[in-house]
């Protein structure tokens, strides 16, 4: 039979979980049952490029589709998507992230695409913008939801938050957790010592890491405040910030102001994540808002204990604290105390349970199976066998 055509749309293939997710789906759902066209927009400065993950795929780029709100560019993006949809004639349009969700769903409905699916990888209704801009995004998401046959989220907590924000009725929102290829992270012991050697850090010094974009929502200031507290109580602890972004200069200035220059390493973007996690004694996450943090899944698979702020999908991922430690958003003292406790005595039973949990529940094969079932159900509801 002829494969069903899926057009997958994401605003940009920048470093982060959504780009990994759509690349995995586009490769895995490209066979005798489904074929995929992946459409992306233009990267912003300092974002980091993950487009290499899409090698060999049918990828189309729409330069007008960018992160910021810009009525003229957004209209151009809608028109470009309409042209693509008329040419490709997808059976399903599946959008990811806010901007792609708005312009993609609008174009799909104007074109008469049979089925429209949207995935929330998180939301921007808390911690990102002021009240007026947040209200605008809420209105746009509620309108866009009306153009969706199915809305997906990546965690139970995120689903509950979307219902609370009245994005859509509960029966229209389904949870499909992330799935990742974790094979390279399940045995990193042979890489121990490489990160310390690269950084010029003595091998016996514990390294506490944070992995992700250097953007305001990730709240690296909280990490640095906790680092200052830890440095005052632990002579050898060192800290590594992995990632890049618009906040880098501000973070560097804050490191200097806190007299942490000889304690904190900044690595920029890294693709050799097994080397990073093999060198960490603990992973911190300090975000004000999150969907399902990929860095936590990666750390758990690699056997690295996690201390994270209790926000977004973190409680679902850490089983409300049984698979990792959680602290209140903004509490530097609690963050420092919990990390120091982990450094003093690694919670090996918890580490083993966390690894087993993510390997069982966040595997890429499970994700692909979930989406095959979902797409088949959606198409059947539209009269396709």
Looking at residue 128, its pLDDT comes to: 80
Q: What is the pTM of this model?
A: 0.90
Quote the Cα angle for 46-52-53, to 5°.
110
Query: What are 4-24's pLDDT values in tens digits?
Result: 999 999 999 988 889 999 999
78, 196, 229, 238, 342 from 232: Cα distances, Å: 54, 21, 5, 12, 17
pLDDT higher than threshold 90 for residue 100 = yes
With both helix axes pointing from N to C terminus, report the angle between 131-146 and 98-111 in degrees, rounded to the nearest 10. 30
Reported as a pLDDT band with limits 50, 70 and 90, residue 67 is confident
What three-state secondary structure class fits 94? strand
Instruction: Tell me the C-alpha to C-alpha distance, in Å, between residue 331 and each of 172, 288, 302, 344.
Output: 36, 11, 26, 20
pLDDT score at 234? 96
CA pair distance 53, 38, nearest whole angstrom: 12
Is the per-residue pLDDT at 354 higher than 90?
A: yes
Using the predicted structure, report yes or no on whether residue 355 has a pLDDT greater than 80. yes
How high is the pLDDT of residue 303?
97
Predicted local distance difference test score (pLDDT) of residue 222: 99
**Looking at residues 266-294, what average pLDDT do you find?**
95
- Can you tell me the distance from the alpha carbon of 12 to that of 348, in angstroms, rounded to the nearest whole number? 38
CB within 8 Å of 345: residues ≥ 6 apart: none
The predicted model gives 225-231 an average pLDDT of 98
Q: Residue 48's pLDDT is what?
A: 79
pLDDT mean over 325-337 = 98
pLDDT band for position 296 (50/70/90)? very high
Name the average pLDDT for the chain: 95
Query: What is the tens place of the pLDDT at every residue in 125-182?
Result: 877 888 888 898 899 999 999 999 999 999 998 999 999 999 999 999 999 999 999 9
pLDDT interval class at 1 (50, 70, 90): confident
Rounded-to-integer distance, Cα 203 and Cα 224, Å: 22
Provide the Cα torsion 12, 153, 276, 262; round to 10°: 80
- Give the span between the Cα atoms of 24 and 276, in whole angstroms: 22
Q: What is the mean pLDDT of residues 95-110?
A: 96
pLDDT at 369: 97
- Whether the predicted pLDDT of 46 surpasses 80: no
pLDDT band at 44 (very low <50, low <70, confident <90, very high): confident
Mean pLDDT value of segment 377-381 = 97
Domains for the chain: give ranges and CATH numbers.
Answer: 4-179+363-381 (3.40.50.2000), 183-361 (3.40.50.2000)
Q: How far apart are CA 373 and CA 196, in angstroms?
A: 45
Give the pLDDT score at 43. 86
The pLDDT of residue 106 is above 90: yes
User: Three-state SS across 268-284?
Assistant: ECCCCHHHHHHCCCEEE
Q: How far apart are CA 101 and CA 11, in angstroms?
A: 8
Measured from the Cβ of residue 174, the count of other Cβ atoms closer than 10 Å reads: 16
Q: Which of 149, 147, 146, 175 is nearest to 160 (CA)?
A: 175
pLDDT of 207 strictly over 80: yes
Helices vs. strands in the chain: H and E counts, helices first: 14, 13
Average the pLDDT over 291-319 and give the result: 95
Q: Which of 189, 185, 182, 147 is nearest to 168 (CA)?
A: 147
pLDDT for the residue numbered 93: 99
Q: Which helix (H) or strand (E) holds 252?
A: helix 248-257
Instruction: Read off the pLDDT of each residue in 325-353 and give the average, rounded to a whole number.
Output: 96
Looking at residue 181, what is its pLDDT?
93
Please say if the pLDDT value at position 68 is more than 90.
Answer: no
């Amino acid at each position: 039979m002829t494969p069903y055509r899926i057009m997958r749309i994401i605003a940009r293939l920048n470093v982060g979980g959504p780009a990994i997710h759509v690349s995995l789906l586009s490769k895995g759902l490209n066979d005798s049952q489904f074929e995929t066209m992946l459409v992306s927009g233009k990267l912003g400065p300092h974002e980091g490029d993950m487009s290499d993950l899409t090698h060999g795929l049918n990828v189309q780029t729409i330069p007008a589709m960018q992160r910021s709100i810009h009525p003229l560019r957004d209209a151009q993006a809608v028109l470009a998507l309409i042209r693509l949809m008329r040419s490709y004639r997808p059976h399903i349009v599946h959008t990811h992230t806010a901007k792609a969700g708005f312009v993609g769903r609008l174009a799909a409905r104007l074109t008469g695409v049979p089925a429209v699916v949207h995935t929330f990888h998180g939301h921007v209704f808390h911690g990102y913008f002021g009240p007026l801009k947040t209200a605008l995004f809420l209105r746009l998401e509620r309108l866009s939801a009306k153009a969706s046959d199915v809305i997906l989220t990546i965690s139970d907590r995120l689903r509950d938050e979307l219902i609370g924000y009245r994005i859509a009725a509960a029966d229209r929102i389904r949870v499909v957790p992330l799935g990742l290829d974790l094979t390279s992270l399940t045995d990193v012991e042979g890489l121990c010592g490489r990160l310390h050697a690269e950084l010029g850090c003595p091998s016996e010094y514990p390294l506490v890491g944070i992995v992700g974009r250097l953007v305001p929502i990730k709240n690296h200031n909280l990490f640095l405040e906790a680092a200052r507290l830890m440095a005052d109580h632990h002579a050898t602890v060192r800290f590594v910030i992995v990632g890049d972004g618009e906040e880098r200069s501000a973070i560097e200035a804050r490191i200097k102001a806190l007299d942490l220059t000889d304690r904190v390493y900044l690595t920029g973007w890294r693709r050799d994540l097994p080397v990073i996690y093999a060198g960490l004694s603990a992973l911190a996450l300090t975000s004000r808002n999150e969907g399902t943090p990929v860095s936590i899944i990666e750390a758990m698979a690699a056997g690295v204990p996690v201390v994270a702020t209790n926000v977004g999908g973190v409680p679902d991922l850490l089983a409300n604290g049984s698979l990792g430690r959680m602290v209140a958003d903004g509490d530097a003292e609690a963050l420092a105390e919990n990390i120091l406790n982990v450094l003093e005595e690694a919670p090996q039973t918890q580490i083993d349970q966390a690894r087993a949990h993510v390997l069982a529940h966040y595997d890429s094969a499970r994700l692909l199976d979930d989406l095959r079932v979902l797409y088949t159900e959606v198409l059947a509801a539209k009269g396709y066998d």
